[in-house]
Amino acid sequence: MAKTKSAFFCQNCGYETPKWLGKCPSCSEWNTFVEEIVEKTLPQIVAFSKNNDRIQKPKSLSDIEHKGQMRIPLKDKELSRVLGDGLVKASLILFGGEPGIGKSTLLLQLAVKEKNLKVLYVSGEESDQQIKMRAERIGIENEHCFILTETNLQNIFNQAEEIQPDLLIIDSIQTLYSNQIESAPGSISQVRECTSQLLRYAKQTEVPVFLIGHITKEGVLAGPKVLEHIVDVVIQFEGDRNHVYRLLRTIKNRFGSTNELGIYEMVGSGLREVLNPSEILITSSDDTLSGVAIASTMEGLRPMLIEIQALVSTAAYGTPQRSSTGFDNKRLNMLLAVLEKRCGFKLGTKDVFLNIAGGIKVDDPAIDLAVVAAVMSSNADLPVSKEICLAAEIGLSGELRPVSRLEQRINEAEKLGFKKMIISKFNKGIEKKNYKMEIITCGRIEEVIRTLFT
């Protein structure tokens, strides 16, 4: 007789506790604990290969043989680069993104494009008819691509044993369930158990496994966040659902760098790789306007280029207004005071409005210089060239201070097609590297203004 045990799981971060709690001690969210039954039966061992019960002994590092070609090159160049130059055998890859962003499309496209790989595409979300329709839109025929509509993990393993695929795709991890756990599909304990079984499958059979995971804005669904430490690679698909472009980013990669960015365009026949990213910039920019500057910023570990807009006008009332959206108002006041006192611009009688395009909020000090450039551009009614981006913090005496992770910022700006970047001359170690982009180093705000507007 199986011993039934239940536990409470935070639906936001996966924290486990034997008793119900109002507030999660791990992520500080309120009312997120839900009881889930965790049936503790003896784990039924799924046979993936003959040497399943082999006992591991410590080996000297130099005795471990390198098996040679471990990466499978992919036809999809953007995905291949984001994964670190090809797909590593035996890796477990979590592919996250909001519903409707195009996750199923991208992976089905991968499955049909790789004609020399036998792919098993398991869907728990759509019927085989729907998948066929999608494949017809993509317009590639491939008889080595197998579709399985199944949500029971043990059945999936049985089918995989029979087909022996070279690549397994699971759409999505939230629909799977394992017989060994009683709670509902999509609950934290199911998601975690299924993922660790799939990890074991990947490691023992050397088949790379892609897991699709949904992220909701509220984080209500058992979030793929819980899985980030189990899997080898976490990639995320982003972009506005109404917008045609999609960005593919790496959040974690055990086999490569995390600052690669893949860009796709959603067209009528699936996702098109955007190999020359500056084409996006050219289509989105109309005329060169004054009061606009591009900042290179970091959001956590992710580099990002954002547009800063400023409007400077003569104050209509006695007290000038200073208002900003997405940027700290106190910091804006400080930057204006520096411009007034150190650089001699008379902004004391002007209204200053600042806006970060796209409605995002940024607290990276590296955008200071772009804020100053946008304000000066609007004040003088002179545009900043669209080819320039900026990244530097500004000190109280008007000096440019170095920023963190400059290399990643430069790589991102290069990828997005910028030609020049203005940084602080105090950022060390940049001179030695060869960048395609021109790097302009300045020490003070005055030098930047001279570079931008003359």
Question: What's the one-letter identity of residue 15?
Answer: Y
Taking the C-alpha atoms of residue 427 and residue 424, their distance in angstroms, rounded to an integer, is: 6
Taking the C-alpha atoms of residue 410 and residue 118, their distance in angstroms, rounded to an integer, is: 39
Residues facing residue 7 across a β-bridge: 36
The rounded Cα 95 to chain-centroid distance in angstroms is: 10
Q: Is 99 in the site for ligand TYD (CB under 6 A)?
A: yes
The one segment of 10-18, 101-109, 368-376, 420-428 that binds Mg ion by CB under 5 A: 101-109
Q: Of 77 and 243, which CB lies nearer to ligand TYD in the complex structure?
A: 243
Q: Is 109 in the site for Mg ion (CB under 5 A)?
A: no
Taking the C-alpha atoms of residue 262 and residue 78, their distance in angstroms, rounded to an integer, is: 5
Taking the C-alpha atoms of residue 12 and residue 188, their distance in angstroms, rounded to an integer, is: 9
Q: Is 104 in the site for Mg ion (CB under 5 A)?
A: yes
Residue 115: CB minimum distance to ligand TYD, A: 19
The one segment of 9-17, 76-84, 110-118, 265-273 that binds ligand TYD by CB under 6 A: 265-273
The one segment of 83-91, 98-106, 266-274, 369-377 that binds Mg ion by CB under 5 A: 98-106
The one segment of 99-107, 270-278, 355-363, 434-442 that binds Mg ion by CB under 5 A: 99-107
State the number of binding residues for ligand TYD (CB under 6 A). 14
Q: Is 235 in the site for ligand TYD (CB under 6 A)?
A: no
Q: Is 217 in the site for ligand TYD (CB under 6 A)?
A: no
Place of tokens 């109309």: 286
Taking the C-alpha atoms of residue 378 and residue 80, their distance in angstroms, rounded to an integer, is: 42
Contact by Cβ (8 Å): 406, 385: no
The one segment of 58-66, 268-276, 367-375, 387-395 that binds ligand TYD by CB under 6 A: 268-276
Residue 250: CA atoms inside 13 Å, Cβ hemisphere, count? 23
Q: Are strands 261-267 and 270-273 parallel, antiparallel or unpaired?
A: antiparallel
101 binds, among Mg ion, ligand TYD, none (CB under 5 to 8 A by kind): ligand TYD
Q: Of 54 and 217, which CB lies nearer to Mg ion in the complex structure?
A: 217
Q: Is 262 in the site for ligand TYD (CB under 6 A)?
A: no
Taking the C-alpha atoms of residue 86 and residue 413, their distance in angstroms, rounded to an integer, is: 23
For helices 329-343 and 445-453, give the axis angle rounded to 10 degrees.
Answer: 90
Tokens of 362: 């940024």
Taking the C-alpha atoms of residue 112 and residue 135, their distance in angstroms, rounded to an integer, is: 8
Which residue has the CB atom at the shortest distance from Mg ion?
104
Q: Of 238 and 351, which CB lies nearer to Mg ion in the complex structure?
A: 238
105 binds, among Mg ion, ligand TYD, none (CB under 5 to 8 A by kind): ligand TYD
Residues that bind ligand TYD (CB under 6 A): 97, 99-105, 134, 137, 266, 268-270
Residues that bind Mg ion (CB under 5 A): 104
